[in-house]
Amino acid sequence: MSIDGKIAPADGVGRRFFKFMTPRHQRMLHKIRSRVDAIVVGVDTVIKDNPSLTVRNVHGKNPLRVVLDSKARTPLGSKVVDGAAPTIIAVTKNASKRRVELLRKKTEVLVLNRTGRVDLRKLLLELRKRGVRRILVEGGGETRWSFFNEGLVNDFFVWITPHIWGGRDAPTLVDGAGFLHEDDAIPLKLKSRRVVDNLLILSFHVDAHG
């Protein structure tokens, strides 16, 4: 994120942040991906940024790519369904049957709860059946909020670039409805901090007893 907490400018296109990442940062990101079993993103991230979510520049296996997509809006030409790595599109029973069938021609589609958002706890149970134990939730802000709101985060890290984006409508690191009372805010314990090529990296553990 930028120093003012934005993960993208006001148009929501987060890939513009890649300009601030050096080759060393990119290798670090891919190394992190290589150590997890699955990466989770929301469909808006797929639509706006079209990420590959694969391991590059380092040795290691590609993790399972999981897209939270309640209404099956994932574009059929997206990189996440290019076959470069296994992918699951998690939808609800509310999704268009036609869209679900089209996506199933490209990758696996997992239909979960009937309405609303994808049930994260049901999703995690399904992933566990597939041997998934360690998950990296890359974003965006709504997706991160969903995991925090459900109490499903153990560790949290953030890369902070020395830039200001501004913008009242620019997405932040964690969006969603947000908490209204101080007792509900998620407490974190700082584990480490370091600076890599002018980028500040903070790592936290979620303090469940805070």
Residue 195, domain member (yes or no): yes
Over range 14-28, report the average pLDDT: 88
Query: What percent of the chain has pLDDT above 70?
Result: 99
What pLDDT does 19 receive? Answer: 86
Single-letter residue type at 122: K
Question: Looking at the chain, how many residues does it have?
Answer: 210
Taking 90 as the threshold, does the pLDDT of residue 17 lie above it? no
Question: What are the pLDDT digits (tens) for 95-125?
Answer: 999 999 999 999 999 999 877 899 999 999 9
Taking 80 as the threshold, does the pLDDT of residue 208 lie above it? no
What pLDDT does 39 receive? Answer: 98
Residues spanned by the domain of 155: 14-206
Q: What is the 3-state secondary structure (H, E, C) of the chain?
A: CECCCECCCCCCCHHHHHHHCCHHHHHHHHHHHHCCCEEEEEHHHHHHHCCCCCCCCCCCCCCEEEEECCCCCCCCCCHHHCCCCCEEEEECCCCCHHHHHHHHCCCEEEECCCCCCCCHHHHHHHHHHCCCCCEEEEECHHHHHHHHHCCCCCEEEEEEECCCCCCCCCCECCCCCCCCCHHHCCCEEEEEEEEECCEEEEEEEECCCC
Question: What are the pLDDT digits (tens) for 130-174?
Answer: 999 999 999 899 999 999 999 999 999 999 999 999 999 999 999
Residue 5, domain member (yes or no): no
Residue 7, domain member (yes or no): no
Total domains in the fold of the chain: 1
pTM score of the predicted model:
0.94
Residue 1, domain member (yes or no): no
What pLDDT does 56 receive? Answer: 81
Question: What are the pLDDT digits (tens) for 30-83?
Answer: 999 999 999 999 999 999 999 999 998 677 889 999 999 999 999 999 999 999
Contacts of 37 (CB under 8 A, 6+ apart): 63, 64, 127, 131, 132, 133, 134, 135
Confidence class of residue 16 from pLDDT cuts 50, 70 and 90? confident
Residue 3, domain member (yes or no): no
Residue 92, domain member (yes or no): yes
What pLDDT does 12 receive? Answer: 86
Q: How far apart are CA 146 and CA 152, in angstroms?
A: 9
Taking 90 as the threshold, does the pLDDT of residue 84 lie above it? yes
Residue 6, domain member (yes or no): no
Q: 73 near 93, Cβ under 8 Å?
A: no
The enclosing domain of 27 has a CATH number of 3.40.430.10
Residue 51, domain member (yes or no): yes
What pLDDT does 57 receive? Answer: 66
Single-letter residue type at 104: R
What pLDDT does 122 receive? Answer: 95
